[in-house]
């Protein structure tokens, strides 16, 4: 039952990203959800080109992670709209079950009135070329949907997380293996490059066989299968939400060869990347953010 709910959360989040065209992130999740990390953790990162550019600096990325503590505390009193330290405007919605904070949902990717000023400070602080950041910032959306519309779209996620929390055996979940969290975090952060099992093992400071065993035990799939799933999932986002060439998407998500990407995509999705893009375009036309 619990894994069905976690899967429903993932599918609905995909809907919000690919159909409603929202940059949705699921952040600062309660440790009770550790056993579902392989399902939920891929949605922890912001997907905008601007945020990805900021996080090319490890210190800036770490600052973003640390800032989540303040965001979680602020949203205890309810949803709010604000601008992050780098100048991106976003709505934040709390996830809770009773008095227990389960995390928060961020709908981000919008330009703000003070964005240029914050962008300049971020570039100077972390040694990132201001011109490059400004170019990425211009791609952010200028118009933010209304609070009522966003709350209506996000509300089902809140209900599903509360239901998942109630169905989760917390005494066991709290003891989820720390190495599993390390593995999932490393895979989600590095899926778009050629990573090897020895590299993952070195990062986690465990043997390769132990890493392989722990990941299979908690996720029910191999590391190779999981990497393929992450790459195909992100490729679907690019195919649906951008006008990038298929070959460029292949390299962007970690496939070294465009033909190999097409073959894998067709094997997994039963349709070619081009046909997938055309099928989604018939329902949802791509619009460049204004």
Domain boundary among 123, 153, 170: 170
> How many structural domains comprise the chain?
2
Does residue 286 lie in a domain region?
A: no
Residue 231 pLDDT: 93
pLDDT at 21 over 80: yes
Do both 67 and 143 map to the same domain? Answer: yes
Do both 20 and 153 map to the same domain? Answer: yes
Does residue 79 lie in a domain region?
A: yes
Do both 142 and 191 map to the same domain? Answer: no
Query: Which residues neighbour 183 within 8 Å (Cβ) at sequence distance 6 or greater?
Result: 200, 204, 211, 214, 215, 223
Do both 58 and 162 map to the same domain? Answer: yes
pLDDT at 282 over 50: yes
- Arithmetic mean of pLDDT, 123-148: 86
Q: What are phi and psi of 253, to 5 degrees?
A: -95, 5
Do both 100 and 240 map to the same domain? Answer: no
Residue 286 pLDDT: 40
Q: Please report, for the domain that includes residue 205, its CATH number.
A: 1.10.10.60
Does residue 290 lie in a domain region?
A: no
Domain of residue 31 covers 2-170
The arrangement of strands across the sheet holding 88-97 comes to: 23-27, 100-111, 88-97, 80-83
Per the CB < 8 A criterion, the answer to whether 54 and 122 are in contact is: yes
CA distances from 150 to 24, 166, 174, 241, 280 (A): 11, 25, 32, 19, 22
Report the percent of the chain where pLDDT is more than 70: 94
Does residue 123 lie in a domain region?
A: yes
Residue 175 pLDDT: 39
Bridge-based pairing of strands 88-97 and 23-27 is unpaired
Residue 170 pLDDT: 59
Residue 159 pLDDT: 94
Render pLDDT for 58-75 as a digit per residue (tens, 0 to 9): 888 888 888 888 888 898
Does residue 100 lie in a domain region?
A: yes
Does residue 61 lie in a domain region?
A: yes
Do both 143 and 197 map to the same domain? Answer: no
pLDDT at 174 over 60: no
Strand-pairing partners, residue 25, are 106
- Arithmetic mean of pLDDT, 70-86: 89
Residue 92: closest CA among 110, 117, 118, 113 = 110
- Arithmetic mean of pLDDT, 194-202: 91
Do both 52 and 183 map to the same domain? Answer: no
Do both 131 and 11 map to the same domain? Answer: yes
pLDDT at 270 over 50: yes
- Arithmetic mean of pLDDT, 2-13: 92
Residue 288 pLDDT: 39
Give the separation between CA 177 and CA 127, rounded to whole angstroms. Answer: 36
Pair of tokens at residue 177: 């293996």
Residue 283 pLDDT: 55
Q: What are phi and psi of 101, to 5 degrees?
A: -80, 125
Residue 260 pLDDT: 92
Give the separation between CA 267 and CA 30, rounded to whole angstroms. Answer: 35
Report the percent of the chain where pLDDT is more than 90: 38
pLDDT band of 79, cuts 50, 70, 90: very high
Query: Half-sphere exposure (CA, 13 Å, Cβ side) for 260?
Result: 8
Do both 145 and 269 map to the same domain? Answer: no
Residue 290 pLDDT: 39
The overall average pLDDT reported for the chain is 86
Rounded (10°) CA dihedral 84, 79, 17, 40 = 90
Give the separation between CA 70 and CA 145, rounded to whole angstroms. Answer: 24
Render pLDDT for 212-261 as a digit per residue (tens, 0 to 9): 998 998 888 999 999 999 999 999 988 888 888 999 999 989 998 889 99
Domain boundary among 110, 143, 170: 170
Does residue 289 lie in a domain region?
A: no
- Arithmetic mean of pLDDT, 111-120: 86
Residue 80 pLDDT: 93
The DSSP output letter for 143 is -
Does residue 287 lie in a domain region?
A: no
Who wins on pLDDT, 228 or 127? Answer: 228
Residue 238 exposed, middle or buried by CB count within 10 Å (0-12, 13-18, 19+): buried
Do both 83 and 127 map to the same domain? Answer: yes
Reading phi first (left if > 0) and then psi (alpha if -120 to 50, else beta), residue 103 is in: left
Domain boundary among 141, 170, 199: 170
Do both 40 and 140 map to the same domain? Answer: yes
């Amino acid at each position: 039952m619990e894994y069905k709910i976690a899967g429903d959360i993932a599918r609905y989040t995909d809907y919000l990203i690919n159909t409603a065209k929202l940059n949705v992130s699921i952040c600062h999740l309660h440790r009770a959800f550790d056993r579902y990390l392989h399902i939920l953790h891929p949605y922890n990162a912001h997907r905008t080109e601007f945020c990805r550019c900021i996080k090319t600096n490890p210190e800036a990325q770490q600052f973003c992670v640390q800032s989540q503590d303040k965001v979680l505390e602020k949203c205890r009193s309810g949803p709010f709209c604000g601008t992050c330290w780098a100048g991106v405007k976003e709505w934040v919605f709390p996830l809770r079950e009773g008095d227990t904070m389960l995390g928060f949902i961020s709908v981000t990717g919008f330009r703000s009135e003070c964005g240029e000023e914050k962008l300049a400070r971020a570039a100077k602080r972390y040694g990132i070329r201001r011109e490059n950041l400004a170019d990425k910032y211009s791609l952010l959306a200028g118009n933010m949907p209304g609070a009522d519309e966003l709350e209506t779209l996000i509300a089902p996620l809140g209900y599903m997380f509360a239901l998942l929390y109630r169905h989760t055996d917390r005494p066991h979940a709290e003891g989820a293996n720390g190495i599993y969290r390390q593995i999932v975090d490393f895979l989600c952060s590095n899926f778009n490059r050629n990573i090897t099992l020895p590299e993952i093992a070195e990062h986690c400071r465990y043997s390769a066989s132990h890493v392989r065993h722990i990941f299979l035990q908690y996720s029910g799939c191999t590391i190779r299968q999981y990497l393929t799933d992450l790459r195909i999932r992100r490729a679907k986002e690019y195919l649906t939400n951008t006008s990038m060439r298929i070959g460029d998407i292949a390299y962007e998500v970690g496939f070294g060869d465009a033909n190999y990407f097409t073959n894998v995509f067709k094997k997994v999705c039963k349709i070619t990347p081009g046909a997938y893009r055309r099928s989604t375009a018939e329902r949802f036309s791509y619009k460049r953010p204004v």
